[in-house]
Amino acid sequence: MKIINKGRGIHQREVAGIERLKKELPETWIGFTNLEMALPRGAREIDLIIIAEDRLLVVDLKDWNGSIESAGNGWRLNGRFMDGGNPVDKICENRRELSIKLASFLKQARRPASIPENLVPKVEPCVVLTATADRKGIAETEKDKVFPLDFFISMLRNTPERIKTLGGAAPAIFETGLTGPHWLPLLQKFFSIDESYFRASSRTYGAYKAESDNHSFSHSKNIFSEYDASDPSSDNSMGLLRRWDFTNADARFMTEAGRMEIAGRERKVIAWLGDHNADFESGVLQPRAYDDQSSVNYWEVFERRRRLRRLSEIPIEQLMSESRETRLQLLRQVLLRVKQMHDINAAHLDLGPHSVWLEAPSIARLSHLMRVGRDSLIFRQNGLIPLSRKRNPAL
């Protein structure tokens, strides 16, 4: 199958599934990735749309390992309720919206004489499990829309099996074929991001989206980069997105156990500081969302006020234009945050212009608490180690 990427890149969790579909489905088929369907109440992100010979398939890829169970209005993974609602409900809603848009488009489009008037291709909703084949915990009312990757590929490749599983298609569709010269130009135009129906997907991180592809700060070894982000569903509230790339770290961080020494450590440190001094809640950037799969492309989002700016990003001329009293007050607030840590025998081990945030006239926050020492020890995800070993090679 030919893959056409319409967005900024395939999510790391989707790569394995996309690669298998690309290699094992017929080469005449087309797959569009990273599309957002334009709707009046907001865009709807779609992982993959497949143009098969007799139908379209709108696909949600789930790279989940472990036990999956239907639970009310959502799914649980290994007993943990997953954000985002019920995947089957969402993919069926995407199918419905896609079918409506496709019918509207074809009604206005100039069709070849070989395509009967009012004929609209069938659209199938599919949730595809790329890392597990276990569906026994999924409700019976949902199972017919949920497919393990191996079965999904073999079923699609075998026409009788595809019809048996998904149902038939109009004879005229089989005669002309959606991937042939009669239908394909029409469908390619429909899925074009130049039209009003779709746009290129901008990846989401929880409820947040990066505001730009340009990072605001990057680690010296490119192990993580940071971006301005916002939550469109909450009056564009601001966030700091940190995207990790553990492929640039030592090989041991390719394993989940190794990554857990770093991934999410800042949240644990912030929780510990808050337990020992409630004022820390207003003194540090608070976590708001994170990658619960701890993948090699781990990400996390911290909340920040829109006017709060990183010290390294504030021009010296702007700082000096503030009154002397404002500059002194900002300095006092930074020292207060450091003193609050010292009062509980803790120390910020990565304090610098990149980890100090200011908002005139009197607000200061700290970030980058991955390395925080206490009583000659440094926090790790699973405990404490001597400060003499604090120079973790990954950081």
Check residue 150 and give its pLDDT.
Answer: 95
For residue 48, count other CB atoms closer than 10 A to its CB. 23
Cβ neighbors of 257 (< 8 A, separation 6 or more) are: none
Report all structural domains of the chain as residue ranges with CATH numbers, in order of start.
Answer: 2-200 (no CATH), 204-389 (1.10.510.10)
Check residue 154 and give its pLDDT.
Answer: 97
DSSP 358-369: EETTTEEEE---
What's the whole-model pTM score?
0.57
Bridge partners (DSSP) listed for residue 167: none
Check residue 145 and give its pLDDT.
Answer: 96
Check residue 194 and give its pLDDT.
Answer: 58
Q: Which amino acid would we find at residue 15?
A: V
Q: Which helix (H) or strand (E) holds 150?
A: helix 149-157
How would you write the pLDDT of the chain (395 residues) with one tens digit per residue?
998 876 544 555 677 788 899 999 999 999 988 777 877 655 677 889 999 999 999 999 998 888 899 987 889 888 888 867 899 999 999 999 999 999 999 998 888 888 888 899 999 999 999 988 889 999 999 999 999 999 999 999 999 999 999 999 999 998 899 999 999 999 988 988 655 677 666 667 888 888 876 788 888 888 888 999 988 777 768 999 998 877 777 777 767 777 777 778 889 889 989 899 988 888 999 999 988 767 667 889 999 888 999 999 898 889 899 999 999 999 999 999 999 999 988 888 888 999 999 999 999 999 998 876 654 444 443 343 443 434 443 34
Q: Which helix (H) or strand (E) holds 216?
A: none
361: cis peptide before it, omega within 30°? yes
Tokens at 254, concatenated? 């390719």
